[in-house]
Chains A and B, each alone.
Chain A
Amino acid sequence: MNTAALTPDDFENLLRWLDPDRDKAGEKLTKIQARLVSIFSSRGCIDPEFLADKTTNIVMGKSGWLLENYVGDPALYFYGVAKNVYREYLKQLRPLPPPPPPDPEPPELDEVCDYLDECLDKLSDRDRYTAVRYHEGEKSERIENRKKLAAELKITSNALRIRVCHLHERLRKCIERLQRAAAALGKHLGYGHHTD
């Protein structure tokens, strides 16, 4: 699919196909994109955002036809296209060796620790306590510790998993923001890479 050939009408058709309400359509598109990125990541793709965008662009190019003819959940059509995009990606990747395991001490670890510390301070006392306490202990001790924590917070173990998942998401976004801000400042002060 040549994405340069896409027109604003294609985007409008895509939104209309997803939902007659523009706001709802936007939400659906965001949700579908997030799921495609997550699936491509789960399969170990090295550029999941690019593959998700490529999928969306292909679907967008067919949106006029889809609007008139497709019956069913649009998310499943996106997934069908994503499978083909993934196959193409594998063909290009095949000669490459498997990626090395992650470095147990990643180079950015100190920086991430500092930012994490800063981000934890921005949480409420209860949330900070939950986020840190959840990770205490090893194996069976950790499982027992989490049961106690859930009882302490008067929630089920599953509700605790969900709460911690949301807390992690907030912390990871906060770290990402601080990294972006530091990178922008470094660039502003002339510490960025020169490519020309």
Chain B
Amino acid sequence: MVLNNIDQARIRDYLLGRLSDEEEEKLEERLMVDDELFEELEISKGEIVEEYSAGELSQSDRQSFEERYLASPEGRERFTFSVALDRLGQRKPAVAPVPMPRHTGLFDRIRAYFNWQRLAFAAGTAALVLTLATALILRRPPVFVSVDLTSNVANRSPGARQYHRLTVPANADEVRFSLQLPQSATPRAGYVVELDNQTDVTTFTPVSQSGNSILVAIPTNQLPPGIYSLRLQARLADGTSQPEPWEYYFQVVK
């Protein structure tokens, strides 16, 4: 992101209705063709909505924002989202993903010793069960079905979508999807695949990636009859991820 502070301020002024008609049109023309500026607009929308809900905008900015962005369905939806996020943050403070070490007293150490003994027994039992289960599973290689899918970027409206029909044999363990990238796609360092079953999204790491295709294996127990789409999240060099703008549609039938 190489936007300068002037552009960031300009976007803020635009959303708060502080630009003249001419300035507004010039900025909107740039928004139509400049990806980074457009991304800044989307980021700023969220930030100003947050400031609005926290009561941090001046009276005139507040009123102008209400008459412009907040009057749109998208603005209202983002406002509700921001209030919900705030409420949830108060109810459930963020928990660091890595546990912090803490001081342990004598009582803690005694309790840990007995817990350890219980844990050792449980772990031993689990290991035995796991070994037996692994031996059973390894007796045969996984049965899979291979499917080639191409993206459907030219038919994005729901009515025009073309679904690849797929029948999963009862003995199959997984479906291996080979996702063909559009010719126009910019190659990325890595991808994560999202499976959307219309209610939930599950994430999978591809098995391999070569040239213009990505191979992902999805267990058949995750694919009951229904309509699905697969999306790609590209991993960018700066460590962020970005959704790719195309999808792969398919339908599992009995």
Contact = CB atoms under 8 A, between A and B. Distances in A.
Contact of A117 (B67, B68, B88): B88
Given A27-B182, A165-B42, A99 B28 contact: no
B85 A21 contact: no
A116 to B, nearest CB: 5
Nearest to B95: A129
Contacts of A43: 68, 72
Interface in A110-166: 112-113, 116-117, 120, 122, 125-126, 128-129, 131-133, 135-136, 138-139, 155, 158-159, 161-166
Interface residues of B, number: 71
A159 B239 contact: yes
Interface in B19-66: 25, 28-29, 31-33, 38-39, 41-43, 45-47, 50, 53-54, 56, 66
A21 B151 CA distance: 14
Majority secondary structure of chain B interface residues (helix, strand, loop or mixed): helix
Interface string B78-122: 111101111111001111110000000000000000000000000
Contacts of B6: none
Contacts of B70: 44, 99, 101-102
A196 interface: no
A46 interface: yes
Interface in A158-196: 158-159, 161-166, 168-172, 174-175, 177-178, 180-181
Interface stretch (B124-132, B193-201, B215-223): B193-201
Contacts of A117: 88, 92
Interface residues of A, number: 77
A39 B74 CA distance: 11
B190 interface: no
B57 to A, nearest CB: 12
A160 B36 CA distance: 15
A50 to B, nearest CB: 11
Interface string B216-253: 00000000000000000000001111110110000000
Which 10 residue pairs of A and B lie closest in terms of their CB atoms, listed nearest first? A26-B154, A26-B153, A133-B94, A125-B97, A44-B71, A132-B94, A41-B72, A44-B68, A24-B184, A23-B182
20 contacts: A21-B183, A23-B184, A29-B154, A31-B245, A38-B31, A41-B73, A43-B72, A45-B71, A79-B28, A101-B66, A104-B83, A116-B85, A135-B86, A136-B94, A158-B1, A162-B1, A162-B39, A163-B241, A172-B78, A177-B198
